[in-house]
Structure 1
Amino acid sequence: MPLHNHKANLDDLFTVESMTKPLNVHRISRKERNPEAVYQMIHDELLLDGNSRQNMATFCSTWLEREVQDLMQECMDKNMIDKDEYPQTAEIEARCVSMLANLWNAKECPGSENGTCKPAIGCSTTGSSEAAMLGGMALKWNWRARQKAAGKPSDKPNLVCGPVQVCWHKFARYWDIELRELPMHEGNYMSSPEDVIAHCDENTIGVVQTLGTTFTGHYEPIEEVHAALDKLQQETGLNIPMHIDAASGGFVAPFMQPEIKWDFRLPRVKSINSSGHKFGLAPLGCGWVVWATEDDLPEDLIFRVNYLGGQMPTFALNFSRPGGEVIAQYYNLLRLGHEGYVKVQEACFAAAEYFAAGLDQFGLFEFLNNSSKGLPLVCWKFKDDSKPPFSLYQLSDALRERGWLIPTYTLPPNCEEIPVQRIVVRHGTSVDLLYLLLKDFKEVIEELTQTPPCGKDKQRASFNHS
């Protein structure tokens, strides 16, 4: 057995070849390299990224308990799709679906084994975007079946929605569906029942309502839209189902606003998607979709494979994916329970209220949402009568120099001329952290007022979901 080169092993890390000259990082090298040196090089490059805890734009989890990190490490080699090889991981996924179906008030089916009741059905996904697309696909397939049964054409489907995240634009384009996204109205930044009904017809595969919009954090008027669709059916015979995009609100409303009817308590709600990696507190890469009953997920969308050992149904867009995120979601559901989730979300709302009160003291801003209208999110614009010598974009730039990512963006049509800012207050965003953010706000505003930047009116898209 050859001896190792002890001299090379004793060299200082920053003197080895991989660290002393520029590397061609756009082609695979012909030779292998020192693993410590490669790790250090990549580690140092990642220092140039922003600090995720100071990213106030994201809805995603940026703080995780140590136990979650340990479980993720232990599941790194487990493939979620390989249910025959990892039956306990598959069982845990099914438990999570059952918990979420119960949380979202799906009908209990103790007699489902004899066919007297169809239970809820669902699955994990790589995120809420995939989950939303699965819900949309089911709407289209069911609508097409209804059209065929009625002897009507099915070549011009449309989907009616309020201001939605970009995944719905992708869904409509990829699956050849007309997206009827309702325009915003200044002062009312979500859809209305009247607008929804005005855009529905026999080719509408469904209506999407958002529980916590990306732009302003509002809950759309889901129960009111449901009632308007009931009235539409009475008048025209059109029976239009609903899908709820609860990417953020699905793990907030049940704990903080349980009186709001948005879920399977409403008969037209056939499916719900949510992000486990947002207010569900799981790490990135975790989404969920649940259908009210088995009948709401068309059999034609389910594939059965046996080449991983055993018959396995699958209806996700992705195939192989890690199981750790699902295990981490299960950990949070068990560890926190209803009481724990209430405490976490209460802390988020309290921190958001603290920040909104501090921001209000500057006298410059008007709130579109001060966390009282949906998610623990604060969204604001300049007051109409305030005339600061700088723009919101320049305010974002100055805060970014201090490490904070505060998104500035324009709203969808017909409010695209309104630039706004927002922060998302999520688990781990402490009052102390927001105190420091307000302190930087104060100092930056003073600096920009004393030394106004050039090109105040210049605008650019620093944040855009559509």
Structure 2
Amino acid sequence: MIARLFNAPLGDTETAMGVGTVGSSEAIMLAGLAFKRNWQNKRKAEGKTYDKPNIVTGANVQVCWEKFARYFEVELKEIKLSEGYYVMDPDKAVEMVDENTICVAAILGSTLTGEFEDVKRLDDLLVKKNDATGWNTPIHVDAASGGFIAPFIYPELEWDFRLPLVKSINVSGHKYGLVYAGIGWVVWRTQHDLPDELIFHINYLGADQPTFTLNFSKGSTQIIAQYYQLIRLGFEGYTNVMENCRENMLVLKEGIEKTERFNIVSKDVGVPLVAFSLKGQSFHSEFEISEMLRRFGWIVPAYTMPADAQHITVLRVVIREDFSRTLAERLVADILKVLHELDTLPSKISRKMGAEDFGNVKGKKVKREKLMEVIVGWRKFVKDRKKMNGVC
């Protein structure tokens, strides 16, 4: 069912090739192992060295890609980000591909901003390079978040097996597959893309059962839940859920924009989330807003971007199926309360700590240094106030 959702080239009698996994982390490990073994076999057949494999991807990848590279001795060649462009640049990625590249990993739904990477352009550029070099470098799509979104509300978007170089795709059932935590999936384009030497065959349960996994005994409840959701909701049901998430995302985005205090970093097309950062030379930081929102029951992460955009800090709100329009409006109201309180903090801290301890920032210091001084001063002020009041 998932293979057909991703437009795998299946005939009436063909069986899809895929594995149920523990989240997308295991799925990525298995897909990476398949690429590595296929590349090694090809190099051996050509009488070439096969001890320096690499993967090309953006610096915005999830940490499981770094785990795969370190655990299985594969070099991770990351395309650096830049301010205003927080996904992998296909042109730079293809330039970095060499004869030792086992695959290029594209992300359909960046963890940082929810943006879909341009898999179609990556495929077009890589086809040209493969024709010129004879390398036949493939693509893996990490669709952990977007795999259960794009087919339903962006069906015209070409990112899946419709592109000839996309050989495998992973997706998390416990994200927008609408299943509780613990289930992921990886699907291969054809049986030839998964080396048979990686598959183990067992028969002690009464019949031949092929297995390809890094995990051992585990429950089947998440798989049953995924099957139930697919047959219960169907294509129309998933479409309704994803469209509703997108509409609530737009409501939240509009509310945050109306505060006139933030820049929206995320895109409208992508995972339904809102990533935003403070405008201008503020004496406060996104980390302060994140910490103060916890008092209202909100866990809104604040984080810095990867290299070379690490000077950018953003807040992120991910919209799931249970995040209603009412909750979006309430969150905006609470953000306004936090902003109002933060606007009063510098003068309070100045009276409490004195000019030497806070805010005596020289003009030559960069914005981040100013922000760090303010954060340290603000935390000290809050800590002292707690001691004084005896209330946590």
* TM-score range for the pair, normalised by the shorter chain length: 0.7 to 0.9
1:257 to 147, 154, 164: 154
Query: Residue 110 of structure 1 corresponds to which residue in structure 2?
Result: 12
SS class of match (2:112):
coil
Q: Deviations over 1:32-85 (max 9, x none)?
A: xxxxxxxxxxxxxxxxxxxxxxxxxxxxxxxxxxxxxxxxxxxxxxxxxxxxxx
CA distance in 1 between counterparts of 2:153 and 2:13 reads 31
SS class of match (1:443):
helix
Query: Residue 418 of structure 1 corresponds to which residue in structure 2?
Result: 312
2:252 to 333, 351, 355: 355
Q: Indicate the percent of aligned positions where both proteins have the same amino acid.
A: 47
SS class of match (2:298):
coil
Residue 389 of structure 1 contacts residue 448 of structure 1 at CA under 8 Å; is this kept in 2?
A: no
Per-residue deviation at 1:391?
1.1
CA distance in 2 between counterparts of 1:223 and 1:425 reads 26
Query: Residue 300 of structure 1 corresponds to which residue in structure 2?
Result: 197
CA distance in 1 between counterparts of 2:193 and 2:110 reads 25
Query: Residue 69 of structure 1 corresponds to which residue in structure 2?
Result: none
Residue 276 of structure 1 contacts residue 282 of structure 1 at CA under 8 Å; is this kept in 2?
A: yes
Matches within 5 A, 1:246-395: 246-369=143-266, 371-383=267-279, 386-395=280-289
Root-mean-square deviation (CA), in Å?
A: 1.5
Query: Residue 329 of structure 2 corresponds to which residue in structure 1?
Result: 435
Residue 283 of structure 2 contacts residue 371 of structure 2 at CA under 8 Å; is this kept in 1?
A: no
Query: Residue 37 of structure 1 corresponds to which residue in structure 2?
Result: none
Query: Residue 50 of structure 2 corresponds to which residue in structure 1?
Result: 154
1:135 to 21, 31, 47: 31
Q: 1:191 is aligned with what amino acid?
A: M
Q: 1:410 is aligned with what amino acid?
A: T
Most deviating of 176-185 and 309-318: 309-318
Confirm or deny that 1:230 pairs with 2:230: no
Matches within 5 A, 1:28-43: none
1:193 to 90, 93, 96: 90
1:396 to 290, 297, 312: 290
Per-residue deviation at 1:320?
0.7
Query: Residue 449 of structure 1 corresponds to which residue in structure 2?
Result: 343
SS class of match (1:110):
coil
SS class of match (2:371):
coil
Per-residue deviation at 1:109?
1.7
SS class of match (1:457):
helix
TM-score by structure 1 length?
0.74
CA distance in 1 between counterparts of 2:273 and 2:257 reads 15
CA distance in 1 between counterparts of 2:13 and 2:134 reads 32
Residue 157 of structure 1 contacts residue 177 of structure 1 at CA under 8 Å; is this kept in 2?
A: yes
Alpha carbons of structure 1 residues 412 and 255: separation in structure 2 relative to 1, 3 Å: same
Residue 348 of structure 1 contacts residue 426 of structure 1 at CA under 8 Å; is this kept in 2?
A: yes
Q: 1:224 is aligned with what amino acid?
A: R
Per-residue deviation at 1:226?
0.3
CA distance in 2 between counterparts of 1:361 and 1:282 reads 34
Q: Which has the larger radius of gyration?
A: 1
Residue 388 of structure 1 contacts residue 449 of structure 1 at CA under 8 Å; is this kept in 2?
A: no
Per-residue deviation at 1:404?
0.7
Q: 2:157 is aligned with what amino acid?
A: I
CA distance in 2 between counterparts of 1:166 and 1:325 reads 23
Residue 281 of structure 1 contacts residue 329 of structure 1 at CA under 8 Å; is this kept in 2?
A: yes
Per-residue deviation at 1:311?
2.9
CA distance in 1 between counterparts of 2:190 and 2:116 reads 24
Q: 1:356 is aligned with what amino acid?
A: K
Matches within 5 A, 1:69-88: none
Per-residue deviation at 1:446?
0.5
CA distance in 1 between counterparts of 2:260 and 2:248 reads 20
Per-residue deviation at 1:350?
0.6
SS class of match (2:334):
helix
Q: Deviations over 1:212-256 (max 9, x none)?
A: 000111101100000000110122222101110000000000001
How many residue pairs match? The answer is 353
Query: Residue 84 of structure 1 corresponds to which residue in structure 2?
Result: none
Q: 1:429 is aligned with what amino acid?
A: F
Unaligned runs of 5+ in 2: 350-357, 359-369, 377-392
Q: 2:210 is aligned with what amino acid?
A: P
Query: Residue 81 of structure 1 corresponds to which residue in structure 2?
Result: none
SS class of match (2:341):
helix
2:71 to 174, 182, 193: 174
Residue 107 of structure 1 contacts residue 120 of structure 1 at CA under 8 Å; is this kept in 2?
A: no
Most deviating of 278-287 and 188-197: 188-197
SS class of match (1:440):
helix
CA distance in 2 between counterparts of 1:231 and 1:400 reads 50
CA distance in 2 between counterparts of 1:185 and 1:457 reads 21
SS class of match (1:202):
coil
Q: Which has the higher contact order (CA 8 A, sep 6+)?
A: 1
CA distance in 2 between counterparts of 1:307 and 1:319 reads 16
Most deviating of 307-316 and 351-360: 307-316
TM-score by structure 2 length?
0.87
Q: Deviations over 1:377-399 (max 9, x none)?
A: 1111122xx34332111111100
Unaligned runs of 5+ in 1: 1-98, 113-118, 461-466
Residue 389 of structure 1 contacts residue 449 of structure 1 at CA under 8 Å; is this kept in 2?
A: no
Most deviating of 119-128 and 149-158: 119-128
